[in-house]
Each structure stands twice: as C-alpha cells, then as structure tokens.
Structure 1
Amino acid sequence: MEPDIRQRNHIKELETSIPNIFRSLSSQCGGYENANFSIKDIHNQVTKQRRQLPDDLNFAMAYLETLPTRDQKLFYSVEKDTKRLDYDLFGDVLVFNTTYKKNRYRLPAVIFLGVNHHNQTVVFSSVIVLNERKSTYV
C-alpha cells in the first residue's frame, strides 16, 4: 500500500481528482477487482494527510506577510481590534450565517456580519467549527 500512497500523492500534486487517481491506480493492478484498496481508502488517506499539514490559517498569514517583500506595490495589514470596533459601531444589524459543509474540509463555516453606514457588509468574525452543537456556538 505504501508505494500506492506515494504514487497517489504524486498524482494528487498534479491536481488530479480522486476518482481519476483511483481509476489510474486500479488500471495498473489489472482492474478495479484486483486493487487492494477502494476509492474510500484513497479519500481517507487524503483526509489523514490534510490533517497532518500545518495550520492553514497560520500558514496563510505567514505567506501573506512575505508578499510585500516580493512586490512593493502590495499592501498587507491585519487589524484584529478593528473587528470589535466595527461591532460596537455597526452592530445594529446582525447576521449569523452558517454555510453547512461547503468548504474544503466539509465542516460548517460560521460568519457573523453586519452592515455599516454605507450599507456595506462588515464581517465581524468567521470561523470553521467541528460540529453544530449548541455548546460550540456558545
């Protein structure tokens, strides 16, 4: 199975879909009936490897911080405290939206937003949560 995993990783780096990876690996075994793995095994392996990757948020933030050194025209800034200020100023209209499992990790994304005095959307907070239990939202 280890050579299959290495080959699956190589194929995945080429942005090939999991069904196409399964089809390719199965054909090398002489067909689906001869493969010692299923498409579900490939999905499980991909999920396992994704969980071992560095934290996406910290990785993305670190990457964004390097961009201005490469391109002097690019500006990057993060101001965490402004979200609290925005909420204090524009918290009259509130929207709590959960996008159910529509992201890469098939987990609920929660967005808490409002409207400013220019009728523009203001995002107060966003998060991907592990479950939809009441205690999670509290």
Structure 2
Amino acid sequence: MKDVALWTISKVVLNHSHPCYPDQAEMLKQHRELSMFVRCTIETHEEAEIRPSKTYQSFVAAAGSHSKLGFIEKDVRNYIIREVRNISEEDDAKEFGKSRAAFDYFGDVVSFDTMYNTNRYNLVLGSFVGVNHHGQSTLLG
C-alpha cells in the first residue's frame, strides 16, 4: 500500500535454495575472530616477509584442519592490509615529514634508492646521492 508506506505479505516460501548447517555458523563473518596470539604471529610473519598463505597454512597445520580455526585466510590478509601495513604507512609519512623539515633547515638532500636490481647477479644496487646547498650533486657511494 504505497499511500501509507506499508507492505503486505501475500506469500511465504519456507524452503531454502541451499542447505543450512547450524554447526558451521561460527564461520559466518560476524563470528570469526583473530586472537591476540594469531595477530602477533601474523605481524611477526609479515616482518619476516612470509607470505599470508604460508602464515595461514601454519595455523591450519597447528590446529589440524581448517574447520578447527575460527578464521579464514582472507581474515589474515585483511588484518595485514588494515592493521600491519597501515602502521608502516603512518611511519613512512612521519619519516617523510622529518626529511622535509631537515631539508628546510639544512637545504641539502641525501637519497638512497634500492628499487633497481641487476639481472645477472640479482643484487640490489644502492646509490647515495647528495645535493648540497649550492645545488651541486655528489655521488656519495
């Protein structure tokens, strides 16, 4: 009834299009949770550059099966993205602010870039480049 903004139920179908398993309700998103131990382990593995899939598999191995964990692999990945990496982004922003303040005060820059690596030896190339207050560039190492 549009004029009074009410709905009238005219038909109810009680059968589902999929089976319901009440014993698996704990895996619904609102019931999944990462314990403090799991969070600390994820953070430690992230610092050691262990892939999230390997981290999750270590929890599965310790628990004995996927069904014995109170979370899924996507929860591990979400925690890393939302909690662990955001902290480092905030730290990067703070460091950038310190660098800008140092540049304003001293007027020179030192840059260290390790984004390039060689194909032959797969070694990281790091070059220190300094720019003094006269605008002259110097290769420092």
- Compute the TM-score of the two structures, normalised by the length of structure 1: 0.43
Q: Which protein has the larger Cα radius of gyration, Structure 1 or Structure 2?
A: 2
- Compute the TM-score of the two structures, normalised by the length of structure 2: 0.42
